[in-house]
Amino acid sequence: LYFSAQEGILFFYHIKSLQYEMKICAEILQPISNLIFSPDYTILLLITDQGTVYTYKPAHSGEAVKLLDACSSCFLAADFLTPGNKYCVSVTISGEVQVWLLEDATCLSKLNLYIEVCVT
């Protein structure tokens, strides 16, 4: 079980029978608003309240890596494009939809909706 705290800490609970172990996986020092696993569960996207997107690879137990930084408009949501986990799609508050290559955060495509977006 992965979850985040308001302080921007990603936790992992390993639950087995009536026993559990808690581990701190990553600290990004920004409140995390969303966690999304890739279809094959090898990558976890972390989206912060400030609109920055990080990747975390549970099998490697490393640090969260900043993938996309909020520049002119905060990233509101992101998800993987399936099948596979090579690409993700994001949307900003200003309504810009972007497709990204996860390997090096290359923006492959953009579409402006020309409307402010919100999540409900």
pLDDT in tens, 15-55: 888 888 888 888 888 888 889 999 898 999 988 888 788 89
Q: 2-112 — its CATH code?
A: 2.130.10.10
Residue of 42, 33, 15 lying closest to 102 (CA atoms):
42
Please return the burial class of 10, using the count of CB atoms within 10 Å of its CB with bins 0-12, 13-18 and 19+: buried
Q: How do residues 50-109 score in pLDDT, each as one tens digit?
A: 878 889 998 877 788 888 776 556 778 888 888 888 898 988 888 889 898 888 888 899
Domain locations in the chain as residue ranges: 2-112
Q: Which amino acid is at 44?
A: L
Q: Which two tokens stand for residue 80?
A: 């993987």
Residue pair 10/28 in contact by the 8 Å Cβ criterion: yes
What pTM was estimated for this model as a whole? Answer: 0.73
> Under a CB-based contact definition with an 8 Å cutoff, are residues 39 and 15 in contact?
no
Q: What is the pLDDT of residue 84?
A: 80
Q: What is the pLDDT of residue 112?
A: 92
CB atoms within 10 A of CB 90: 21
